[in-house]
Structure 1
Amino acid sequence: MSQINTKLLERLSNDFAQLFETKYDYNVVVKVGNQNFNLHSLVLYQRSSFFRKELSTATKKNNIIEIILTDTSVEAFKVLIKYIYTGTVTFEEVEPSSIFDLLVPSSKLGLIDLVEYIQSYLIDNKASWLRLKFTQVYSISFQDNNFKALQTFCTDILAKHPNLVFDSDDFSSVQENALITLLKRDDLQIEESEIWDKII
């Protein structure tokens, strides 16, 4: 991409950021926790499959559509709505746990490009944190089919070190499909009898 095109895209991104900040002519209120976000249906509809579905069935009250978003923190939504409006996200100086916490709400909102970027960023830049929080990462990665990169990352580690899960205090909370994927591996380095002892 040429330098001119990059500058034009930056300008476009900044224009949409300004639209979000000024709230000019907003027609949607999204409630997240105890905070309201004044937004624009056109932007939400175009950028998010979740909002596309919500907006197509919503009814207006005084020309405003109200959407209540549950299971998403205000902090996460601030990052996600900035991404929806500007197409940008930055993770420098952001804690890995905060980045990881964006995965589920990103997927819920249908922001698949962002989900893929987050997974790639974590694997490429925060692999040591992923290993440190392995049981949590492993369990959550199998709750959503959009987390394939993390699933592969985790099962590759587990093939060599299966006791990370089997000896974990959180073993009983591991998703069934995560265990099935692991057990199907030909390169799993644990005796079958040990597996059955843990499962039964």
Structure 2
Amino acid sequence: MSIHYCSEVIQDLQKAFESCDDYDVIIIAGEDQQEIFAHSFVLSTRCSYFKRALSNDWEERDDDGIIDYDQYNNEVILQCLVAADELGLNKLNEHIQEYLIDNEEYLHKDPVSTLQIVGQHEPFENLKDYCLEVISEEPRILFSSEKFTLLDKSIITMILQRDDLNIEEIDIWESLLRWLFIHYLKINKDESSWSSEDLSNVKQTIKEYIPLIRFYDISKEDFYLKVYPYKELLPQDLLSDILRYHMVPNATPMLNFKSSRNRKFDSVLVNNNIFKLFIKWIDKKDNKYIGKSTPYRFILLLRGTRDGFDAPKFHQLCDGKDATISFARIKDSKQIIGGYNPLHWYQNSTYASTNDSFIFNITDIDNLDTAKIGRCNNPNNAVYYHPNYGPTFGNGHNLNAQGNNWHTSNGNAYPNINLSGNFAIDEYEVFQVVKKI
């Protein structure tokens, strides 16, 4: 005679489940992360998935445990980083962060998604610091992104707090407004269409960001055209002091606002990408320059509109200095021309010999593909010194600076880089190039 005890066994199992006695598995499920206590014997007996998951053979390796990150896009790699963190895979977490740091192009392709993820996970602190440093050097990869308005408030605050953000303050102000109006407030940027309620909401929302903007570093023209239309958003004492600062000769700020940002490269002509191109040329590297920090410091010695364009001023400020790079903007264009001299400048009307100098022509500074470099092929006539000339390269000369006019000819010290004739320039700069120790 057979006796069926199925119902009693089920009842006993239910009691064990409800009492959580002797549980050895915790399952976390649902949006509220509810903990479910279970028994591995029951799970593995009744479910093939748990039988495998709870066995010693759960771990499965493909390609001998080697991950080829190059097969995956930025989104997938970031998802793997989050998963590694949640699963406590610390070594994998470290490796993914190292890979992203060594392959900076991922940040360039999608800076917003990268920042959103690394900014929300404390274990990604190193990667977050690196991302913020890169963006501080090249803020336009973030500020010009179509996804910029999707950034979280905490990320915007982190960015605006940076003292080394290498971008004009007026661009920061306009980007902040764009983010506020589209992402946060979802109202029209045209202040004339605002209701009193709209104005109140905007003032309340922007209030915490006002101290992060260096308003005194915005030119009076930009302030009048791009900030003053939103004067209702500024505290009255700040507005009055900025107006006094711009209207009263030799006035200094009275309010205790943040000091000017320390821009990495103090140039009004070229951006960080151009400086990285210069570094690549100076180091004679064909590969794209990628690094957490640049191997050189660029110290501004002369700016034409600030110091003058004449040769005596050039020699006063630049003679006797180590390696320098000089460049000028052709009037009413985006074209930059110039040259690199690894030697000192002097006034003694003679040629100097070097194999490391070069001249260059960048037709459009917004497009690095238009850049051409000419390396010296006649080292005995690489650089020319003269008391009446600014930076001059090659015999003939391949590139010659005389005040606001720069000239090129068919000299034979450098190859043709599509420069010919005379150029009127409206700005030029000379930087000393110092190798970091």
* Normalised-by-shorter TM-score class: 0.5 to 0.7
Deviations 1:156-187 (A, max 9, x none): 11112212222221112112222222222211
Q: Residues 82, 161 of structure 1: CA spacing in aligned structure 2 closer, same or farther, 3 A cutoff? A: farther
1:120 aligned residue: 98
Q: In the alignment, residue 142 of structure 1 is paired with which amino acid?
A: G
Residue 67 of structure 2 is aligned to residue 91 of structure 1: yes
2:87 aligned residue: 109
SS of the residue aligned with 1:146?
helix
Residue 43 of structure 2 is aligned to residue 64 of structure 1: yes
Deviation at 1:130, TM superposition (A): 3.2
- Bigger radius of gyration among the two: 2
Q: Residues 63, 179 of structure 1: CA spacing in aligned structure 2 closer, same or farther, 3 A cutoff? A: same
Deviations 1:111-141 (A, max 9, x none): 23321221012222x3223322323222222
Deviations 1:63-105 (A, max 9, x none): 2279xxxxxxxxxxxxxx859x9xx842236324333320111
| Contact persistence 1:135–1:170 (CA under 8 A) | yes
Q: Residues 163, 101 of structure 1: CA spacing in aligned structure 2 closer, same or farther, 3 A cutoff? A: same
Question: How far apart, CA to CA, are the structure 1 residues paired with 2:85 and 2:146?
Answer: 28
1:184 aligned residue: 161
Question: How far apart, CA to CA, are the structure 1 residues paired with 2:146 and 2:172?
Answer: 15
Q: Residues 176, 111 of structure 1: CA spacing in aligned structure 2 closer, same or farther, 3 A cutoff? A: farther
Deviations 1:29-60 (A, max 9, x none): xxxxxxxxxxxxx9x99xxxx8xxx9x85223
The correspondence for 2:145, drawn from 163, 168, 175, is 168
Question: How far apart, CA to CA, are the structure 2 residues paired with 1:147 and 1:140?
Answer: 9
> Superposition RMSD on alpha carbons, in Å?
3.7
1:35 aligned residue: none
1:17 aligned residue: none
Residue 111 of structure 2 is aligned to residue 134 of structure 1: yes
| Contact persistence 2:108–2:141 (CA under 8 A) | no
SS of the residue aligned with 2:71?
coil
| Contact persistence 2:81–2:93 (CA under 8 A) | yes
| Contact persistence 2:118–2:125 (CA under 8 A) | yes
Q: In the alignment, residue 37 of structure 2 is paired with which amino acid?
A: A
SS of the residue aligned with 2:122?
coil
| Contact persistence 1:142–1:175 (CA under 8 A) | no
Q: In the alignment, residue 178 of structure 1 is paired with which amino acid?
A: I
Which portions of structure 1, spanning 4 or more consecutive aligned residues, are displaced by more than 4 angstroms? none
Q: Residues 174, 111 of structure 1: CA spacing in aligned structure 2 closer, same or farther, 3 A cutoff? A: same
Question: How far apart, CA to CA, are the structure 1 residues paired with 2:107 and 2:149?
Answer: 20
SS of the residue aligned with 2:123?
coil
Question: How far apart, CA to CA, are the structure 2 residues paired with 1:162 and 1:148?
Answer: 19
The correspondence for 1:152, drawn from 116, 129, 145, is 129
Structure 1 unaligned segments of length 5 or more: list them: 1-41, 67-80
Identity %: 26
| Contact persistence 2:78–2:117 (CA under 8 A) | no
Residue 143 of structure 2 is aligned to residue 143 of structure 1: no
| Contact persistence 1:159–1:188 (CA under 8 A) | yes
Deviation at 1:194, TM superposition (A): 2.5
Structure number with higher relative contact order (C-alpha < 8 Å, ≥ 6 residues apart): 1
Higher strand share: 2
| Contact persistence 2:118–2:128 (CA under 8 A) | yes
Which one is further off, 190-199 or 168-177?
A: 190-199
| Contact persistence 2:112–2:147 (CA under 8 A) | yes
Q: In the alignment, residue 78 of structure 2 is paired with which amino acid?
A: F
SS of the residue aligned with 1:64?
helix
Question: How far apart, CA to CA, are the structure 1 residues paired with 2:73 and 2:66?
Answer: 12
